[in-house]
Amino acid sequence: MLFKKQEKETLLSQDQSALSSALGRGITSISSAKDELFHQPNIFNPLDYIKDDKYFLGLDHQTQQPLYNDESIHTQIVAPTRSGKGIFIAVKVVEALRKNKGVIIIDPKEDDFLAQVILEELQRQNRTQDLQIVNWSNDFCYTVFSELDTVEEATKKMTVMLNLIENDAELGASYYKKSERILLAKVMHLFFNSKTLLEVEFDLTLQNLSIFLKYIISDLISNYEFQKELEKNKPNFDKLASLSKRYFNPDLFATIEINYSNLSILESLQFSISEFENVSIYNKYHILDSLTKGKVLYIKSDMLDETALKFLKLVITDIIQFSKKYKKDTNCLAILDELSFYPTQILSAGLSTVAGFGVNFILAYQSEAQMKDENLRVSIKDNCQTKIYYKSSDDKTLKYIELLSGLELVTQKSKKSNETTIRQQQEAHMNITRLRALPRAKVAVLIEENLNEIKIFQTSPIPVKNKFNWDNLNSKDVAIKKLFLLKAFKVELKQEISLDTQNQDEKELVL
């Protein structure tokens, strides 16, 4: 029996097979992805599309129809630099202001246009006084401590900022962090109650806390050295006279729950806080005005300054603590840009509950790989119902989008002799080839928990008259009033002659 040699089935090239059929669109090729997606977005004015009862995203990249969603609880934005995420954020801010929401913005990069968009929107609403700008580091008028804080709340925000929360990955350092945290609580109790406990009154500022610690350390050392010298058989009375001078009333100072054995921990705490002494931090704007009164708190930080990034963790703690404390009145949008540079555990824990307190977050960073804090990254994914991804070169980000996009049936064509076979196969709906075909900026992929498929939409900037004038604010010089105490108290010595057989001098401490 003769068998005819079977001809090998030949698949058509990708470009040839990238044809749709009744079985679905054609299998993706570079050429088909380019034809479908690689076209520049249209220019439009987002203000024409904002609605009171909807969450405006942009225009559909294919149909150019406006894309809306119901109000989002939290939004995640993953976008490289210059991709246009600031354009989307500006729309969300205007949308919030038109709904009488307060807004808190953390801007670590000095955005040229976002502050201007806000200013012009507030001009349209005749309330420009509601824009409160806190400018690192020359005019940082953020109220750190106030009468609205309990000692426990103030201690909590300092604990977060100084990274004194124990971490399973740092078991060796846990003991020291716990010791510093315990002592910090004692220091904060003294700091907030100094008028009663030490008869000293001063402004509750971060700089004054650092200086207050210096004075405590100084008096502890003086007291220790004084007692040490006093116990000698032949003490140096000139040295005793020098060591007898104190910043605080010795009677009152003797009653505090801090002693010389705590000195090394105190010095470590003071060293950590001292880096804020040269920043013009003073009490003027309080975060509660944005949480409950519809004002805009614009915090311009510096992502190249480690001290600035540490402080942002305190701001996040304030947002969570005050929104919980005043949840009946809180109605606010909080925008944290470049979040990967200042991740904090309290945000990881707070995302699941803070929406119930009246705060909606927009959390933005550059790529999935850049977010090193795994707990925070998982918390963001779990709690952000709206996820927006701009074109990325990070493989971790690309694979994650591809995974979440789901699978669809596509057409694959193959040729055998003169016969063409059409079959179906599965392909990721938004595979890497299609993702890489997106324009570099102003076009994003939407993954929304309320939708069963992803969307591709485009954004366009809100027109403004000019860039925001940061130079004027950056040149401002603010003098800060700092705590200054003299060594106004003194431990006095009275020298008596004892009547014992050795007739030695007896030293008595008279307070």
Which residues face 360 on adjacent strands? 333
Which residues face 131 on adjacent strands? 296
* H helix runs in 260-393, sequence order: 263-274, 288-293, 306-325, 345-354, 374-383
Query: What is the SS3 assignment for 150?
Result: coil
Given a contact cutoff of 8 angstroms between Cβ atoms, the answer to whether 385 and 355 are in contact is no
**pLDDT reported for residue 173:** 61
- b/e per residue 187-201 (b: at least 16 CB within 10 A): bbbbbbebeebbebe
Query: What is the SS3 assignment for 321?
Result: helix
Write down the residue that tokens 């991740």 correspond to.
343
Cis peptide before 137 (omega within 30 of 0): yes
Top CATH class of 39-143+286-391+438-474 equals: alpha beta
Give the rounded distance of the alpha carbon of 61 from its chain centre: 31
- Of all helices (H) and strands (E), which one includes residue 184? helix 171-192
Strand-strand pairing, 407-416 and 489-490:
unpaired
Task: Provide the 10 A C-beta neighbour count for residue 499.
Answer: 7
Q: How far apart are CA 77 and CA 390, in angstroms?
A: 8
Query: What is the SS3 assignment for 96?
Result: helix
DSSP secondary-structure letter at 55?
E
Q: How far apart are CA 126 and CA 122, in angstroms?
A: 6
Q: Would you give per-residue pLDDT tens digits along the chain (511 residues)?
A: 444 455 555 454 444 445 555 566 888 889 989 988 999 999 999 999 999 989 999 999 999 999 998 877 899 999 999 999 999 999 999 999 999 999 999 999 999 999 999 999 999 999 999 999 999 999 999 999 999 999 999 999 999 999 998 766 665 567 888 999 999 999 999 999 999 999 999 999 999 999 999 999 999 999 999 999 999 999 999 999 999 999 999 999 999 999 999 999 999 999 999 999 999 999 999 999 999 999 999 999 999 999 999 999 999 999 999 999 999 999 999 999 999 999 999 999 999 999 899 999 999 999 999 999 898 999 999 999 999 999 999 999 999 999 999 998 888 877 777 777 788 889 999 999 999 999 999 999 999 988 888 999 999 999 999 999 999 999 998 988 899 999 999 997 655 434 343 444 444 444 4
Given a contact cutoff of 8 angstroms between Cβ atoms, the answer to whether 40 and 330 are in contact is no
Backbone φ and ψ of 291, nearest 5°: -65, -35
- Of all helices (H) and strands (E), which one includes residue 258? none
Amino acid residing at 235: P
Q: Is the dihedral of CA 85, 87, 90, 91 positive or negative?
A: negative
* Structure token digits, residue 423: 């079959």
**pLDDT reported for residue 307:** 97
Give the rounded distance of the alpha carbon of 216 from its chain centre: 32
Which residues face 146 on adjacent strands? none
Please report, for residues 55, 123, 336, 398, the alpha-carbon distance to residue 385 in angstroms, rounded to integers and kept in the order given. Answer: 13, 32, 16, 19
**pLDDT reported for residue 305:** 97
Please report, for residues 35, 310, 319, 359, 428, the alpha-carbon distance to residue 315 in angstroms, rounded to integers and kept in the order given. Answer: 46, 9, 6, 14, 40
Q: How far apart are CA 100 and CA 274, in angstroms?
A: 39
User: What are the residue ranges spanned by the domains of the chain?
Assistant: 39-143+286-391+438-474, 151-277+481-510
* Structure token digits, residue 414: 């193959």
- Of all helices (H) and strands (E), which one includes residue 362? strand 359-365
- Of all helices (H) and strands (E), which one includes residue 171? helix 171-192
Amino acid residing at 410: V
Please report, for residues 196, 217, 244, the alpha-carbon distance to residue 220 in angstroms, rounded to integers and kept in the order given. Answer: 20, 5, 11
Which residues face 300 on adjacent strands? 107, 135
